[in-house]
Each structure stands twice: as structure tokens, then as C-alpha cells.
Chains A and B, each alone.
Chain A
Amino acid sequence: AQSVTQLDSHVSVSEGTPVLLRCNYSSSYSPSLFWYVQHPNKGLQLLLKYTSAATLVKGINGFEAEFKKSETSFHLTKPSAHMSDAAEYFCVVSPHTNAGKSTFGDGTTLTVKP
């Protein structure tokens, strides 16, 4: 069994300030963890993934996430927000080799103010 909880449905930051999107997960096995981003009228795009190698994962567009097993968390961060980061972000937990059994969080809407 697995589940994922995105702790904030909406996050608002000012341009140039840090971004923190929080994700907790539960899993009965050692999972893969992902963050996807969805811009309006666009498909979901992979930001980064964790697959049991390095616990700090770097992704595209300056995003990174840290896997903390003791806290069952996989929070997404970025040092400095850009206007183009405004989008919906999804945290995903999945078995290593079957994306069909992926569980998506309900998403966090990131707003970036000028």
C-alpha cells in the first residue's frame, strides 16, 4: 500500500524568494518518488525523481528535493522563484518498475508574485 500527501494546496511566494512545496509519503516498500509540474493547458512534465541513490536530487529549472526516510518526506525546493515557476506541482510515489501503480498527490498550486 502507498499514499502521498501534499501538505499545502496553495503556496504563494514573491519572485526571487525561496520555494518550499511539502510532500509526505507512506509505502510498504522502498519506492521511487517523483515531482511533476503542470502548466496551464500543458501536460505534466517530470521535474526530478528519486530512486534510492543520492538522497538529494537535483532536477530541471533549479529545483531540487531531499528524500528523508526518517520523516517519510520528499519536499521540493528552489532557492529563488521565477514568474515562470507558477504552475501546479504533483508529488508521486511509485514502485520502481510499474508507473501504473503510481499514486499522485492532489497537487500544490504555486503562485509567484512580482
Chain B
Amino acid sequence: DTGVSQNPRHKITKRGQNVTFRCDPISEHNRLYWYRQTLGQGPEFLTYFQNEAQLEKSRLLSDRFSAERPKGSFSTLEIQRTEQGDSAMYLCASSFFPTGRGEKLFFGSGTQLSVL
């Protein structure tokens, strides 16, 4: 078990550019979540997948954001036409479902995005 891996760790981009982040979950986990965290706040849910199906998207996920998990393993999160307000830490988490009551999430270290 190598844990949840996210790449890159840091990304600096200019406003208007597109960026893509990758998340590799724990191998046997079928659920994968994306969260966004800004300074001084807790993580906010963006979207999640069960296997390759995207089951839910937050209203925070504007049409500039798209996430995929094509083979039910790794996932990518793309932000098009980045804005300064997109600057945040993007966290990925995975879990195995079902596990009974209380779904436990395993988090990656995140990708810190800075939009200049």
C-alpha cells in the first residue's frame, strides 16, 4: 500500500492557462474524491467517482473544471482558463465502498495551485 499519490505537488501558472492534475488512489479503492482547500478553511467537496462513473459534482465545480477516471484507476482534474480565484490546494482522496458505517477517506498530499 503506497498511499494516495498526487502530481504535481506544486503548479504555478498564468491566468488563462489550462492545468491538469493527476491522482493515483490506493489500488483496491473503488471510490475517488476531489476536494479543494483554501487557506484557513477545511476541504470542500468537488466531485467523486465510483469506479469510472462520476456520481456527483458540487456546484463549486464550474464548467471550466472537468474530472475523469477513464479506467476506474487514476483520475485527472483539469481546469481550463484558470483564474486567480482557482488558487488553492487540490486534494484527492480514495476509499473502498461499501465498508459499513462511516466511510474512511485516505488523502493524498495535494497539489498546490498558484495562478498569477
Contact = CB atoms under 8 A, between A and B. Distances in A.
A66 interface: no
A100 B33 contact: yes
Contacts of A100: 33, 45, 47-48, 55-56
Interface in B84-106: 91, 93, 95, 97-98, 100-106
Contacts, number: 74
A99 B42 contact: no
A20 B103 CA distance: 25
Interface in A57-114: 90, 92, 94, 96-102, 104-107
A26 interface: no
A102 B58 CA distance: 12
Given A43-B109, A43-B110, A107-B40, A97 B45 contact: no
* Size bin of chain B's contact surface: 20 to 34
Given A43-B108, A43-B110, A94-B103, A99 B43 contact: no
* Size bin of chain A's contact surface: 20 to 34
A42 B102 contact: no
Contact of B41 (A44, A94, A106): A106
A52 B33 contact: no
Interface of A: 9, 32, 34, 36, 41-46, 49-52, 90, 92, 94, 96-102, 104-107
28 contacts: A32-B102, A34-B104, A41-B109, A43-B4, A43-B91, A43-B108, A43-B109, A43-B110, A44-B91, A44-B93, A44-B105, A46-B105, A49-B102, A90-B43, A97-B98, A97-B103, A99-B48, A99-B95, A99-B105, A100-B45, A100-B48, A101-B45, A102-B105, A104-B42, A104-B43, A106-B41, A107-B41, A107-B42
Given A41-B109, A42-B109, A99-B103, 20 more contacts: A32-B101, A32-B102, A32-B103, A43-B93, A43-B107, A43-B110, A52-B101, A90-B43, A94-B102, A96-B101, A99-B93, A100-B47, A100-B48, A100-B55, A102-B105, A104-B43, A106-B40, A106-B41, A106-B42, A107-B42
